[in-house]
């Protein structure tokens, strides 16, 4: 549903985005038909789609920080920046790790939105690795090649996750 709504927003003639660009004197852009604009359009849509979920998780993390820590820091003479740097950021580190892993893995697995919006075009500019895997497996029937792409994708995600966990251990010390 998100991809369909964003296709209407990005429509070259009737899209609301081009309407507002026209109000300020900018010519309409073929967001999903121009290879230079298609990927940024998909990225903007994906960030918008995932922003709310990430903010809810961050708000939950912020609500888990005890108010007493901020009060104690105020009594010790800490300013707002010092409280943020010494209390908020360290206590949000696990939440940040969770959000970063979920977001990166989600973007590596992005399929439905680019497929609905552009089907990998124009000129394969929005072809994600999952779409490529789908094309090879179900359009060209290269199942072995498609499976090897899935295997490589698994290891890429595994390595990124391991790096993030290592980084978390280093920063928590």
User: Could you tell me the CATH number of the domain that includes residue 39?
Assistant: 1.10.3720.10
Question: What pLDDT does residue 172 have?
Answer: 67
Structural domains counted in the chain:
1
Report the alpha-carbon distance of residue 65 to residue 59 in Å, rounded.
Answer: 10
Question: What pLDDT does residue 165 have?
Answer: 84
In the chain, what's the furthest Cα-to-Cα distance?
68
Question: What pLDDT does residue 170 have?
Answer: 75
What tens digit of pLDDT does each residue of 117-128 get? Answer: 999 989 999 999
Query: Which of the residues in the chain have pLDDT under 70?
Result: 171-173
Report the alpha-carbon distance of residue 6 to residue 4 in Å, rounded.
Answer: 5
What is each CA distance from 39 to 48, 108, 162, 170, in whole angstroms?
14, 14, 28, 34
**Residue position matching structure tokens 């429509």:** 11
Question: What pLDDT does residue 79 have?
Answer: 96
User: What's the whole-number average pLDDT of the chain?
Assistant: 94
Asked if 5 and 26 count as a contact pair (C-beta separation under 8 A), the reply is: no
Question: What pLDDT does residue 173 have?
Answer: 67
Q: Write out the residue range of the structural domain in which residue 112 sits.
A: 2-172
């Amino acid at each position: 549903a998100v991809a369909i709504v964003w296709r209407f927003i990005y429509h070259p003639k009737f899209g609301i985005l081009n309407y507002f660009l026209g109000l300020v004197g900018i010519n309409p852009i073929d967001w999903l038909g121009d290879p230079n604009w298609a990927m940024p359009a998909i990225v903007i849509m994906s960030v918008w789609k995932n922003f709310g979920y990430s903010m809810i998780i961050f708000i939950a993390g912020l609500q888990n920080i005890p108010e007493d820590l901020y009060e104690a820091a105020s009594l010790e003479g800490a300013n707002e920046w010092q409280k943020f740097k010494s209390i908020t950021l360290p206590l949000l580190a696990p939440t940040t790790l969770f959000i970063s892993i979920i977001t990166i893995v989600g973007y590596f697995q992005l399929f439905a939105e680019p497929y609905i919006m552009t089907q990998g075009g124009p000129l394969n500019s929005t072809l994600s690795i999952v779409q490529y895997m789908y094309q090879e497996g179900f359009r060209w029937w290269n199942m072995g090649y498609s499976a090897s792409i899935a295997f490589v994708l698994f290891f890429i995600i595994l390595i990124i996750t391991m790096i993030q966990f290592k980084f978390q251990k280093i920063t928590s010390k």
